[in-house]
Structure 1
Amino acid sequence: MTKFNYQFSRLCGSVFSSGNLLYLSSGTSLLSPVGNRLSLFDLSSGTSRTYDFECRADIRFLALTSDDRLLLVVDEGNHALLVNLARGAVLHRFAFKRRVRCVTFSPDDRHFAVSYGKHVQVWVTPALRREVAPFVLHRTYTGQHEDVVMVRWTPDSRFFVAASKDNTARVFSLDTTDGFEPTTLAGHRAPLVGAFFGAEPTCVHTVSSDGAVFTWKWAPLDALEEIEGAAPAPPPPPARPLVGGSWSLSSRHFFNQEGSSVVCASLSSPSSSSSLLAVGFSTGVFGLYDLPSCACVHTLSVSKHHISACAVSPAGDWLAFGCPTLGQLLVWEWQSETYVLKQQGHSFGMNDMCYSPDSQYIATGGEDGKVKMWNASSGFCFVTFSEHTAPVTAIAFPTPSVVLSASLDGTVRAHDLVRYRNFKTLTTPEPRQFVSLAVDPSAEMVCAGTLDPFEIYLWSLQTGRVLDVLSGHAGPVSSLSFNPAMGTLASGSWDGTVRLWDVYKNNVVETLTHTSDVMCLDWRPDGRQLVAGTLAGSLHFWDTDDATCTHVIEGQRDIAGGRKQNDRVAANNNAASRHFTSACYSADGLSVLAGGNSKYVCIYEISQRMLLKKFQISYNRSLDGVLDKLNSKLMTDGGPVSEIDQNEDEISAKASTAFALPGARRQDDGSRRTKLEVRSSCVKFSSTGREWAAVTTEGLLCYGLDEDLIFDPIALTEDVTPSAVSKCVKSHQFGQGLVMALLLNEAPLIELVVDSVPLESIDLVVRTVRREHLERLLQFVAVTLAKTNHIEYYLAWTLAICKFHGVELEGERNSLYLRGLRALFKSVKNRFDDIRKVVDENHFTLQFLEAALDQKGRSNVDSVVAE
C-alpha cells in the first residue's frame, strides 16, 4: 500500500520573484526569495533547497547574522519571521506597524535595524531559545521626512547611516554618546537608493536614483582649524570616533547611464582602502565601480528589464542580480567574466509539466512559449527550448531522451535532450491551436487535440506526417491519454463526453457521457479503468471493458474554500467554480491524485471513495483565494476598501490598483494589476512513486517521501530490539541483524548493519532477506547510494540484490517492487553521470598535459638543433 506522508521538498520553475539577495558567510551559498518561500542555492555543488516555512505574503527583505545562525524575513505585509537557518525552523513571529523597506543586523549581531516608515527602529537580537517576548525595542530614531530605504552599520556597530527618499542620509549613534549629534547629509537631487560606510567610519558613500555618487568625509574640528591656519591640537582618542567634528562633501561622481535610473546598489565588505560598488539600472544594465575613485570596472547588459536586487559576495568576486519581471537570477564572476549561475523561470506562469520515464528530469511548459528542463534532484534548469511563438499547453515524454510540446501556435515540437535541439515539428494543413497531447506506449504515434474545430490530429513521430484526423466532439478536446496496455485512445471534451478511439481503425469504440464538461482524464496503469474529472467537481471512474461507471467521487466540497477578494458570498457558499483540471493515478492504481481550480490538492482511495489526504499548496496572502474568511465590512460596491483608498506610497510600490480610474491620481501611468488566483493546473506522480509535483500559481511544487518510516508490529517480538541488532553486528551475525533492522525499519540501524558487512559477505547476507522485506532494502540502498561516498560498496549490494532476487523482481509481484526498482535505477543513473563527468574532465586534462609536454619536448629539440 502506497504511503501518503508526503512533505514539501523543493520549488522548481521559479528562482526569484522580489526582495533582496543575501550571501552566506562562506560566499558559496545564496539566499533568494521566491514568493512567500525562500530558496538556498549552493553555488559550489550546483544544488538548491527550498525551506519548508512560508511567510504570510511575498517576501520583501532578508537579513542574516554574521555567523549564519539567525535569519530575519519580512514580507510585504510587514510581518517578520525569525528563523534558525541551520534547521529551517521558525523561532518567533512579529508584526511591524509601519512600512518596512530594509532590515539589517549589526556586525556584532547584538542588534538589528529596521526602517520603520520615516523612522529607524533598532531592536535587540533575540536568542535562539524560545521566549515570551523575544523582540525588545532598543530605540527609535527620527529626523527624516520620507521613508528610509537603507540602513548600514559601521564595523564597530556603534553608528549607522540611514538613506531616505527625501534625498538625504542621516548618521545616528546606537547609544547616547557625549558630544555626538545626528548629522544630515544633504545635496542629492533625487531620492537615495543606498548609503554605505567606507573602509573607515569617517567615510560615507551615498547613491541616488539619478546616478549620482557622493563621498562624504568626517574630520575633527581641530583638523578643520588647522586647515584654516589655527594652531594644531592633539587628535581625539580612537575610542571616540565621529565625535567633535563635522561632515563635508568630498567628491561627486556620476554613472552617465542615459535614459536609466539606479534601482539597487550594494557595496562589498570595506576591508581595505577601496571597495567595489555594484549598481543595477532600470534598463537591465549592471555596473561595477571602484570606490572612492568611482572608476568603472565592468558593465554588462543582463536584460531589457530593470534589476531590482544586487549583492556582492564576501570575497568581492561574485555578483548576484535578480530581475523580477523575468524571474531571473544571475551570479557573475567579474574577474573571469563568466556566469557562475544563470537561472530563469517562466515569465508568465506554467501550464503543464511531465516527469521523464526515469524520473531524472521534469519538463515544464509556460505561457511565455518556452519549454524548460529541470533536474529533479538539484532543482536547476539545464536547457530551455524557445522555438514556440505562443503559450505551451501540453508536455509529454515518448522516450527518456525526447520531449514533446504542444502549443497554441499550431505546432507540436519534438526536442532532443542529447543534442538539445528541436529536431522535428509536427504541423497541420490548416492552422490549429492545440490544447492537449498524448503519445502511444510504443512512442511511434503522437496525437493532439485542438481548441477549434474540435478535432484530434495523429502524426507518425518517425516521418512527421499526418496519419489521421479524428472528429466527432462538439467542444474543445481538453485532454488525451493512451491506454498503457493497448492502443486505445481516450479523449475528453467540453461537450461532456469521453470517447474511446481505435486509432488504427479510425472508429469510436465507446462514448462515455457525463453531466458536465470533461476537464481531465487518466488511465489506470493496467489499462482496465479510466478516471475523468468534470466541471462539476466530481471524479468519474469507468470500467472500460463494459463501459460502466463504477465509482463517482464528489470532490467539490473537498476542494471548496478560499474566498476571493471580490466575492460577494462566503467561501462555504461559493463552491460552484471549484473543479479538478488534472488527475493522475498512483503506480499501484489504488489511489488518484487530483488538483485544479482550488488551493487544495487531494489524494483519494478509489474503492472506498475516501479522501486520504489534502494538501494546501500555498498560504501566501499575496494571492487571491487563500483566506476562507474576509471582513465583509470592508467590501463596497466598487470593491474592497483596501484597493480603493490607497496612498501615494502604495501606488508607487505596487504600480497598480484594481479599481481606481486611470489618471485619477498624480504620477499614475494607468497600469493595473490584480492579484493572481491560487490554483493548480497540473498534478503528476513520478515513476518512482516517491514524489509528486503540482504546477501552481507560485511555480512547480514538489512533494516527496523523505522519511518513509513504516511501523510493522506483526512480525515484531520482544527479542527484536535495537540492542539485539547491535549484538548481532558485534557477533558478525549480519543476516539476522539485517532482518531485525528491516523489521524495525529505522534507517540508522539498517545503515549500521549494511556498513558492517564485509564486501565478500554481501552475497550471503542478501540471500537471507525475505520477500516481504525486499522493498524496504531496495528503498534503503536507493536513498543511501544517492548521497554516499562508498559508491562501489553499495553497487555491490545492488548487484547482489539483482542477482539473487531477480526472479521475484521480474515475476508477477513486480508491481510491489516497482517503486523501489525505479528509485534504485535513478540513484545508479545519477552516480553514473557524476562519475562520467569527472572521468571526462580528467581525460581531457591528461590529453592537454600530454600535448603540452610533447610541445615542450619538441621546442627543446629544436633549440638543440639550432645551436
Structure 2
Amino acid sequence: MKFNYKLKRLCGAYYGHPLTNETTGGTRWSGSNVVYDSSGDLLISSVSNRIQVLDLRTHTVRTLPVESRSNVRCLALSPDDAILIVVDVKNYALIVNFRRGIVLHRFQFKRKVRQVLFSPDGNYIAVTHGKQIQVWCAPSQLQKEFAPLVLHRTYTGQADDVMCLSWSSDCSVIAAGSRDCSVRIWSLHTTRNFEPVTLSGHKRAIVGVYLIGNHSGRVETCYSVSEDGTLVSWECKLKEGEWDVDHQNRETPPEDSTDDASFWSVKSRHYFHQDGADVSSVTYCERGQLLAVGFSSGLFGLYEMPSVSNIHTLSVGNNQLVKTCVLNKTGDWLALACPHSQQLFVWEWRSETYVLKQRGHAYGMRCMAYSPDGVIVCTGGDDGKLKLWNATSGFCYVTMEKSHTAPITAVAFANASVVLSSSLDGTVRAHDLYRYRTFKTFTTPTPVQFLSLAVDPSGEIVTAGSTDPFHIYAWNLQTGKLLDILTGHRGPVSDLSFQGNGGILVSGSWDGTVKLWDLYKGNVPTESLQHTADVVCVTFRPDSREVCTGTMGGILSFWDVDSAKLKFEIDGRRDIAGGRKINDRMTADNNASSRYFTSVCYSADGSCILAGGNSKYVCIYEVSQQMLLKKFQVTFNRSLDGVLDELNSKNLGPGGPIDDHADSGDDTMYNALQLPGARRGDDGSRSSRVEVLTLQVAFSSTGREWATISGEGLHVYSLDEDMIFDPISLTETITPAAVESKLSTGDYIMALRMALHLNEFALVKNVLESTPFDSIAHVVRSIGPEHLERVLQYVAKVMADSPHIEFYLHWCLELLRTHGIHMDRNRGNFMRAFRATHKCVQTKYDELRAICQENKYNLDFLQDHARLLLTHEESEKMKVEDYRE
C-alpha cells in the first residue's frame, strides 16, 4: 500500500477564513480579495491559509501546494500569470510561481498590508504599508534569488491608513485612497516640477480609486468611491504650455518646458442610495467601462461609466456583506465573495446567469461519508444542511436546505442512491439522490438527540444512538417502522458500526463499554467489551473478524469478534500529541487533554487503520506490526488555536498569554453600533480562534484517497497520479519523426504510446486517424491502465470536431468492451473522461438525429412533389387525348 498521499483539494469552503463567534457559539468567517488570471477562466481565492484555483471552463477546483503562516489577507497576480503574491494577516508574504505552485521567496512587511497591486507592465508591485505606499521591483519568475524584492520608492503624505491603490495604464502614475477621506496621486519616477496631488471631497473612508487615461496613456480622469456611497469623478486639466512627458523613455522634462502644473477639479458627483448600507467593495473594468459596487447589506450594483447608468441591482442574500467583487478583463463575468456565508459567485450579467455559485456550511462541517463508488462525498454541518460534493471536481452540486433543524451529527450511505443523516433535532432522515428530496423521516416515541448512525450492508436496517436516554433505535428503511430499541448502555452512544457480512452491530459508549448486538436474535447484547476509559469511536475491519475501538485515554484496542478477546493495543498518545492552545498553562508534552482519537477507519484491505482526533495530526498505523507508518499534519495555519507547540515568551503579558487574533480580522465593521467616543462601531459580537481538530476520517472505496474534516473544511488527500509505472521512458529517441516512422511501418501500438508520451494533440490525433479500422481492437487491447484515461480523453476531444463519427464510435466501443470492468471498478478516476466522451457521443447523436429528421422531411416533400408532378402530367395527357378525339 502506498502512503505518499498529498493534499489534493480543500472542499467545503471556497472563500474566507474561520473565526469562532463567542456570542452565538458558531463560526464567523472573514476573507481576502479574489483575482482573475489574464484569460479570465481561472479564479483565485483564499481559504484560510491556502489558495484555491477554480477553473470556470472545466468547472473544477484545485488547491495550490503552498501554505502561508496565517490567514490570507490579500492576493495579487502578475499580468503574465507567472508570479502570485500572497500576504497573510501577520504581514508575511509569499512569492509563488503560480504555474508550478512553488514558493520562490518569503518576505515580511513591517506594517499592515491591505492591498497589493502589480503594475500593468508587470515590472513593479505597489503595496499599502500602513500610512505609506511602497513600490517594489517585481521579482524574477525563473529562479530563486537571495533578495528578489528591491524597494523602488516609499510614498508618504497620507494622514491615515491607505485602503486602496490604482495604477495608470502607462505605469507612470499611482493613486491611493486613504481612510482620511482623501486621494493622493504620485508619479512613479522622478519628474521635475511635479508635486503630488491630494484630492479631498469625501466624508468617509475611500473604498476604491481608479485612474483613467486617454489613447496616449496620459491620465485624464480619476474615479473615487467612499464608504458612504459617494462617487466623485475628477478631471485633470493641463495649463497652457505644459509638457507631456513619456516617463518610460525619460525622467526629466525638456529644457524649454514651463513650470506650470496641471490641476484637478470635480467633474461630477454621484450617490448610491441603498437604504443606509455602506459600500464594502468596488471594482472597475476599463475595457468595458463598467463599475461594480458591493454593499454591506448584500446588494451589488453594476453601472455603466462615465454616465453611471444603473444596469443591474441584485442581492446575494439578506445582511450578507459583499467583501470583494472583481470583473474580468472583458467585463463579462463578475465575481462576488461573501465571507459570512462563505459564498462565492461568478455572475454573467449579460445573460443574467451564474457561471459559478458555491456556498459552504454556515457554521462549519461536522460529519462526512463517501458513497459506495467513491464518486460522491456527503457532508453534514452545524447549520442542519446536507451537501453533496463531486469527489472528482471538488464542487458542491446539491444542497438540501431543509434537511434538519439542528446540527447534523452523522451521515451514512445506504446505497448509491440513498443517504441517511441523524441530527440533534431527534430525527433520522433518508434522502433520495435522484430526486434530491427527503422521502423518509424516522422518529422515536420520546424526543431524543441522536449522536451516531449506522446502516447495515443490505441497506434495510437503520440504527441510531442517542445521548439521553442511552438507547439504540433500529428502523426498517422501506416501511419506516421502529423495529427495536436496544438498551444496556449507561452513557451516550458515541459510535455505531455494522459487520460487513452479517447482522452484528457494534456500539461504543461513554460508559467505557463496547457491545456486540445480533439484531436478528433480540435486543440482548451477545458480548460486552470493557475498557478503562470512555469509548468514542468503533469500527469493523472489512472482513468482519476484528473490531477497533478508540478511547479517551488515547488507546486503540483491537478485539477478536469470534472470541471477544483483546488481541493487542496501540498507544497513540505520543503520536497524536502536539499543539498548545492559547489558554493552556502547560506545555504540549504535559497536556493530556488532546491525546485521544475520535474517529478511526480501516483501509480497504484491512492492513492499515486511519485515525484522527482532538489534534492537528492524522495517523496511519500498520495493524499487524502495531507501528506508525505516517503522520499527517492537516494545517500549519497559525491563526488557528493548537497549531504551535511552543508559546513565544514575547506574547506573555501580566495576565497570561496575549491573543492577538483580533488584529487578524477586518478592522471595518459595517452596520455596527456606533458608541459615544468610539472610533469604530461595535455590534457586541466577540470572536476567538478556531481550534484545530480532526472530527472524522474516512477512506474512499477506491483506496486512492482519504478525507478528514477540520475547522477549515474537508481536506481530501490523494495519491500522486504521476507515480505510475510506464515501461517506456521519455528519451531523446521519442520524437514526432519516430512516431511517423512507426506509423509508416504499421506499428500502431508503439506509435500511440510514443505519441501519448509527447502529449501533443495533433500528433495523437494523427495516430488515431492513421490506425486502420480493423486494427482498432488490437491497439485497444495493448493500452495499459496508466494510459487508459488519457486515450479516452483524446478520443472525446478529437471526436468533437471530426466528421468520422463511425470510426471514433468504434474506438469508444472497443475501449468499453476491453477495459469496461477496470473503469467501473475505478470509476472515480475515469469519471471525468467518461463524462466527456458521453457528452461528445450525445452531441453527435443529437446532431445526426436532427439531420436525419430534416432529410426525412425533405424526402417526404420531394416524394409528394414528384407525385403531384406525375398526377399533373397524367392529367395533361388525358386532356390532350380528349382534345385529339
When the two structures are superposed, what TM-score results if normalisation uses the length of structure 1?
Answer: 0.86
- Over the residues paired in the alignment, what is the CA RMSD in angstroms? 3.7
Match for 1:781 among 783, 788, 801? 788
SS at match of 1:131: coil
User: Paired residue for 1:158?
Assistant: 172
Match for 2:80 among 44, 53, 67? 67
User: In the alignment, is the contact (CA less than 8 A) between 1:261 and 1:281 conserved in 2?
Assistant: yes
Aligned letter for 1:441? P
Query: How many angstroms does 1:706 deviate by?
Result: 2.2
User: Paired residue for 1:467?
Assistant: 483
User: In the alignment, is the contact (CA less than 8 A) between 2:432 and 2:438 conserved in 1?
Assistant: yes
User: In the alignment, is the contact (CA less than 8 A) between 2:616 and 2:634 conserved in 1?
Assistant: yes
User: Paired residue for 1:105?
Assistant: 118
Match for 1:204 among 217, 222, 232? 222
User: Paired residue for 2:9?
Assistant: 10
The CA distance in 1 between the partners of 2:625 and 2:98, in whole Å, is 43
Match for 2:282 among 260, 265, 276? 265
Deviation string for 1:480-502 (max 9, x for gaps)?
Answer: 11100111011111111111101
SS at match of 2:817: helix
Query: How many angstroms does 1:781 deviate by?
Result: 3.0
The CA distance in 2 between the partners of 1:664 and 1:638, in whole Å, is 25
Q: Kindly indicate whether residue 107 of structure 2 is the aligned counterpart of residue 94 of structure 1.
A: yes
SS at match of 1:332: strand
Deviation string for 1:451-484 (max 9, x for gaps)?
Answer: 1111111111101111111111111111111100
Query: How many angstroms does 1:259 deviate by?
Result: 2.2
The CA distance in 1 between the partners of 2:4 and 2:677, in whole Å, is 52
- 372 and 249 in structure 1: CA distance in 2 versus 1, 3 angstrom threshold: same
SS at match of 1:545: coil
User: Paired residue for 1:377?
Assistant: 392
Q: Kindly indicate whether residue 270 of structure 2 is the aligned counterpart of residue 253 of structure 1.
A: yes
Give the unaligned 5+ runs of structure 2: 17-30, 248-252, 254-258, 799-807, 865-885
- 163 and 847 in structure 1: CA distance in 2 versus 1, 3 angstrom threshold: farther
SS at match of 2:454: strand
User: Paired residue for 1:139?
Assistant: 153
User: Paired residue for 2:25?
Assistant: none
Deviation string for 1:584-613 (max 9, x for gaps)?
Answer: 100110000111111011110001111111
The CA distance in 2 between the partners of 1:851 and 1:190, in whole Å, is 65
The CA distance in 1 between the partners of 2:449 and 2:366, in whole Å, is 15
SS at match of 2:827: helix
The CA distance in 2 between the partners of 1:758 and 1:838, in whole Å, is 22
The CA distance in 2 between the partners of 1:13 and 1:414, in whole Å, is 22
- 516 and 79 in structure 1: CA distance in 2 versus 1, 3 angstrom threshold: same
Q: Kindly indicate whether residue 544 of structure 2 is the aligned counterpart of residue 546 of structure 1.
A: no
Match for 1:600 among 617, 629, 634? 617
Match for 1:527 among 534, 544, 547? 544
User: Paired residue for 1:673?
Assistant: 687
Q: Kindly indicate whether residue 587 of structure 2 is the aligned counterpart of residue 570 of structure 1.
A: yes
Query: How many angstroms does 1:633 deviate by?
Result: 4.8
User: Paired residue for 1:36?
Assistant: 49
User: In the alignment, is the contact (CA less than 8 A) between 1:778 and 1:824 conserved in 2?
Assistant: no
User: Paired residue for 1:612?
Assistant: 629
Aligned letter for 1:377? T
The CA distance in 2 between the partners of 1:243 and 1:465, in whole Å, is 90
User: Paired residue for 1:227?
Assistant: none
Deviation string for 1:291-311 (max 9, x for gaps)?
Answer: 222221111010121110100
The CA distance in 1 between the partners of 2:496 and 2:444, in whole Å, is 18
Counting matched residue pairs gives 802
Structure 1 stretch 606-615 or stretch 408-417: which is displaced more? 408-417
The CA distance in 1 between the partners of 2:592 and 2:6, in whole Å, is 27
Query: How many angstroms does 1:575 deviate by?
Result: 3.2
1:494-509 alignment runs, 5 A limit: 494-506=510-522, 507-509=524-526
Match for 1:410 among 426, 447, 459? 426
The CA distance in 1 between the partners of 2:487 and 2:33, in whole Å, is 53
Match for 1:85 among 79, 83, 98? 98
Query: How many angstroms does 1:691 deviate by?
Result: 0.6
User: Paired residue for 2:451?
Assistant: 435
1:379-778 alignment runs, 5 A limit: 379-387=394-402, 388-506=404-522, 507-636=524-653, 638-643=655-660, 652=667, 667-707=681-721, 709=723, 777-778=784-785
Aligned letter for 1:15? Y
Aligned letter for 2:335? A
User: In the alignment, is the contact (CA less than 8 A) between 1:563 and 1:627 conserved in 2?
Assistant: yes
The CA distance in 1 between the partners of 2:470 and 2:778, in whole Å, is 61
User: In the alignment, is the contact (CA less than 8 A) between 2:725 and 2:786 conserved in 1?
Assistant: no
The CA distance in 1 between the partners of 2:96 and 2:178, in whole Å, is 28
SS at match of 2:549: strand
User: In the alignment, is the contact (CA less than 8 A) between 1:525 and 1:589 conserved in 2?
Assistant: yes
The CA distance in 1 between the partners of 2:65 and 2:519, in whole Å, is 46
User: Paired residue for 2:335?
Assistant: 320
Aligned letter for 2:147? A
Match for 1:118 among 114, 127, 131? 131
Deviation string for 1:74-128 (max 9, x for gaps)?
Answer: 1111011111111111111101010001110001111000000000000000112
- 735 and 61 in structure 1: CA distance in 2 versus 1, 3 angstrom threshold: closer
Deviation string for 1:608-656 (max 9, x for gaps)?
Answer: 1111111100011110111111113533463423549x78x9783599x
Aligned letter for 1:348? Y
Q: Kindly indicate whether residue 841 of structure 2 is the aligned counterpart of residue 825 of structure 1.
A: no
- 788 and 446 in structure 1: CA distance in 2 versus 1, 3 angstrom threshold: farther
User: Paired residue for 1:276?
Assistant: 290
Q: Kindly indicate whether residue 109 of structure 2 is the aligned counterpart of residue 130 of structure 1.
A: no
User: In the alignment, is the contact (CA less than 8 A) between 1:475 and 1:494 conserved in 2?
Assistant: yes
| Bigger RCO of structures 1 and 2 (CA < 8 A, at least 6 apart) | 2
User: Paired residue for 2:801?
Assistant: none
- 724 and 149 in structure 1: CA distance in 2 versus 1, 3 angstrom threshold: closer
SS at match of 1:799: helix
Deviation string for 1:401-430 (max 9, x for gaps)?
Answer: 111111111111111111111122111222
User: In the alignment, is the contact (CA less than 8 A) between 1:46 and 1:378 conserved in 2?
Assistant: yes
User: In the alignment, is the contact (CA less than 8 A) between 1:662 and 1:669 conserved in 2?
Assistant: no
- 493 and 759 in structure 1: CA distance in 2 versus 1, 3 angstrom threshold: farther
Structure 1 stretch 720-729 or stretch 204-213: which is displaced more? 720-729
SS at match of 1:221: coil
Deviation string for 1:152-192 (max 9, x for gaps)?
Answer: 10000000100000100100111111121101111101111
The CA distance in 1 between the partners of 2:617 and 2:98, in whole Å, is 28
Aligned letter for 1:826? G
SS at match of 2:283: strand
Query: How many angstroms does 1:671 deviate by?
Result: 2.0
Aligned letter for 1:685? F
User: Paired residue for 1:812?
Assistant: none
User: In the alignment, is the contact (CA less than 8 A) between 2:385 and 2:408 conserved in 1?
Assistant: yes
User: In the alignment, is the contact (CA less than 8 A) between 1:785 and 1:827 conserved in 2?
Assistant: no
User: In the alignment, is the contact (CA less than 8 A) between 1:563 and 1:625 conserved in 2?
Assistant: yes
Match for 1:52 among 57, 65, 68? 65
Aligned letter for 2:561? T
- 766 and 208 in structure 1: CA distance in 2 versus 1, 3 angstrom threshold: closer
SS at match of 1:508: coil
User: In the alignment, is the contact (CA less than 8 A) between 2:89 and 2:665 conserved in 1?
Assistant: no
Give the unaligned 5+ runs of structure 1: 223-233, 656-660, 770-776, 807-819, 862-867
The CA distance in 2 between the partners of 1:630 and 1:457, in whole Å, is 47
- 628 and 510 in structure 1: CA distance in 2 versus 1, 3 angstrom threshold: same
Aligned letter for 2:347? W
Q: Kindly indicate whether residue 351 of structure 2 is the aligned counterpart of residue 340 of structure 1.
A: no
Aligned letter for 2:224? T
User: In the alignment, is the contact (CA less than 8 A) between 1:786 and 1:828 conserved in 2?
Assistant: no
Percent identity between matched residues is 50
Q: State the structure with more CA Rg.
A: 2
Query: How many angstroms does 1:736 deviate by?
Result: 11
